């Protein structure tokens, strides 16, 4: 159960403890305050007492958990959580405010639009599919493309699509500020890796915790880790006579191909397969699923 909650809320184990503690203490505070307040009314009928108590608890609970969340450092999480509940029950986002929000989103206001950056090193086929998927979206904006290879085809895609690009250097990326200042200046909310050939430094991971997504061209955890990229991973799958391969979409942590897997899709490995022929089916899976999974993750955070 706790693992499911971690994946659903995209939090670490320590933060999960703080969140559950906030729920528990907030609930206790709500019950205590509700009983104290209802005694003021001196209600004699049992049915009316129960009705008023339920109403009080419903109104007090959001305030209680937000107050308790502050010392636990979970204020932002619970504000977002309560807003999400409000939208689901129709207490937030009226038709009038929705018209206003859509208008504001077309201006790509960073407070309302999720701004993502794509990190890529090669031709950029996945990048193009992601751009195409979000082309007409008012909720998601491709704000930047980052590349570590100034001759990569993905930079031509960025120029064609009028998306700003940033070419990064190894020294600054690994031993400097990891370009966190540049990304924050662009108000980046989420990082997507699409064929990016460098490890992500811990400084970047800590600046965007549970906000960095990667796609791996094989099934994790078996075919991950150092050296498992491109044709090398397909050759390993074929050499081991696997019956199937596929893609793994996962969050990024400090260990290569180690973060929690969110989604996997498979395809058969045929007897006469080469790394090239298998790669074609893997690419088809990437193009089909990666943009959709990115959108599902981003929309689940709204």
Please give the structure tokens belonging to residue 28: 């206790």
Joined together, the tokens standing for residue 288 give 């089909």
* Contact residues for 41 (Cβ-Cβ < 8 A; gap 6+): 52
Cα within 13 Å of Cα(48), Cβ side: 6
Whether 39 has a pLDDT exceeding 50, the answer reads yes
pLDDT at site 8: 66
End-to-end, the C-alpha distance of the chain in Å comes to 23
Amino acid 96: pLDDT: 37
CA distance linking residue 222 with residue 300, whole number of Å? 28
pLDDT at 105: 38
Higher pLDDT, 138 or 267: 267
Within its chain, how far is the Cα of 153 from the centroid? 26
Q: Is the pLDDT of residue 300 over 80?
A: no
Is the link from the previous residue into 221 a cis peptide, with omega within 30 of 0?
yes
Predicted local distance difference test score (pLDDT) of residue 98: 41
Burial of 253 (0-12, 13-18, 19+ CB in 10 A): middle
Q: 116 — phi, psi (to 5°)?
A: -115, 150
Which of 44-58, 70-84, 254-268, 285-299 bottoms out in mean pLDDT, i.e. has the lowest?
Answer: 70-84
Question: Residue 12 in 3-state DSSP?
Answer: coil
In angstroms, rounded to a whole number, what is the distance separating the alpha carbons of residues 10 and 12?
7
Instruction: Work out the mean pLDDT of the chain and round it to a whole number.
Output: 86
Look at the chain and count its residues.
Answer: 302
Q: What is the pLDDT of residues 201-247, one digit of tens each?
A: 999 999 999 999 999 999 999 999 988 988 999 999 999 999 999 99
For residue 115, the model assigns a pLDDT of 95
CB neighbour burial string for 61-87, b if at least 16 within 10 angstroms, e if fewer: bbebbbebbeebebbebbeebbeeeee
Helices 125-133 and 153-160, packing angle to 10 deg: 20
Of 157, 166, 173, whose CA–CA distance to 188 is shortest? 166
Residue 225's CB is within 10 A of a number of other CB atoms, namely 14
Q: What token pair was written down for 160?
A: 């064609």
Q: Give 259's DSSP letter.
A: S
Burial-class residue 290 by CB neighbours within 10 Å (0-12, 13-18, 19+). buried
Give 82's Cβ-side CA count (13 Å radius): 18
Binned at pLDDT 50, 70 and 90, residue 59 comes out as: confident
- Token pair 């991973």 is at which residue? 233
pLDDT of res. 78: 77
pLDDT tens across 153-210, in order? 999 999 999 999 999 999 999 999 999 999 999 999 999 999 999 999 999 999 999 9
Q: Stretch 95-113: mean pLDDT, rounded?
A: 44
Instruction: Report helix, strand or coil for 251.
Output: strand
Which residues are known to be catalytic?
Answer: 216
Q: Once rounded to an integer, what is the mean pLDDT over residues 136-155?
A: 94
Kindly state the percentage of the chain with pLDDT values over 70.
86
Domains of the chain in sequence order: 2-88 (no CATH), 103-300 (3.40.50.170)
């Amino acid at each position: 159960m706790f693992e499911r909650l971690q994946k659903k809320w995209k939090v670490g184990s320590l933060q999960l403890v703080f969140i559950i503690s906030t729920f528990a203490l907030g609930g206790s505070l709500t019950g205590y305050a509700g009983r104290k307040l209802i005694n003021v009314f001196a209600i004699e009928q049992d049915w009316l007492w129960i009705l008023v108590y339920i109403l009080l608890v419903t109104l007090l609970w959001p305030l209680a958990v937000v107050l308790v969340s502050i010392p636990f450092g979970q204020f932002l999480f619970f504000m977002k959580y309560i807003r999400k509940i409000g939208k689901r029950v129709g207490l937030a986002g009226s038709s009038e405010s929705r018209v206003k929000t859509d208008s504001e989103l077309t201006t790509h206001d960073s407070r309302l639009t999720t701004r993502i950056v794509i990190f890529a090193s090669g031709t950029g086929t996945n990048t193009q599919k992601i751009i195409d998927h979000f082309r007409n979206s008012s909720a998601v904006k491709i704000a930047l493309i980052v590349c570590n290879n100034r001759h990569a085809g993905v930079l031509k895609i960025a120029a064609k699509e009028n998306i700003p690009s940033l070419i990064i250097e190894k020294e600054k990326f690994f031993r400097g500020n990891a370009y966190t200042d540049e990304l924050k200046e662009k108000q980046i909310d989420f990082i997507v890796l699409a064929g990016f050939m460098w490890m992500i430094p811990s400084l970047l991971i800590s600046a965007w915790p549970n906000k960095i997504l990667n796609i791996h061209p094989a099934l994790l955890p078996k075919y991950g880790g150092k050296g498992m990229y491109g044709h090398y991973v397909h050759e390993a799958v074929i050499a081991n006579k696997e019956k199937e391969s596929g893609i793994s979409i996962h969050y990024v942590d400090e260990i290569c191909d180690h973060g929690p897997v969110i989604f996997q899709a498979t395809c058969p490995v045929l007897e006469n397969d080469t790394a090239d022929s298998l790669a074609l089916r893997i690419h088809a899976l990437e193009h089909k699923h990666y943009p959709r999974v990115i959108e599902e993750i981003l929309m689940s955070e709204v």
